[in-house]
Amino acid sequence: MDRASVNQASRDAYWRRNLRILAILLSVWFLVSFGCGILFVDALDNIRIGGFKLGFWFAQQGSIYVFVVLIFVYVGLMNRLDREFDVDEQPRRTASSGGSA
């Protein structure tokens, strides 16, 4: 295998992993926002948080909080994936740099 095909295989693997991460995180967000806020609202309304029905809370607040948490989870997962495939944006120290950044 030549270098170009190895690079293309690496890019394809990186993209597949990226799409898998996106699909999982978007599924979680869909389940929380649409599922808990609309589909399962009647069952969740039997539980109260701070005086508010849980279904109402998910529809108004919960999906927003989950979305913000998912942003941070995505950043962490993508930073790890970038380091794994050596495409991260962190500057590399070399022996010739004298150890100063």
pLDDT in tens, 8-19: 888 899 999 999
Domain chopping of the chain, boundaries: 9-85
What percent of the chain is predicted at pLDDT more than 90? 39
> Is the pTM of the predicted complex or chain greater than 0.85?
no
Q: Which two tokens stand for residue 30?
A: 């869909």
72's CB contacts (< 8 A; 6+ apart) are: none
Task: Write down the pLDDT at residue 49.
Answer: 80
Question: Is the confidence at residue 101, as pLDDT, over 60?
Answer: no
CA distance linking residue 58 with residue 72, whole number of Å: 19
Task: Write down the pLDDT at residue 18.
Answer: 95
CA distance linking residue 15 with residue 6, whole number of Å: 14
Question: Is the confidence at residue 96, as pLDDT, over 70?
Answer: no
Average of pLDDT values for 16-27?
96
Task: Write down the pLDDT at residue 75.
Answer: 96
63 falls in which pLDDT band (50, 70, 90)? confident
CA distance linking residue 11 with residue 29, whole number of Å: 27
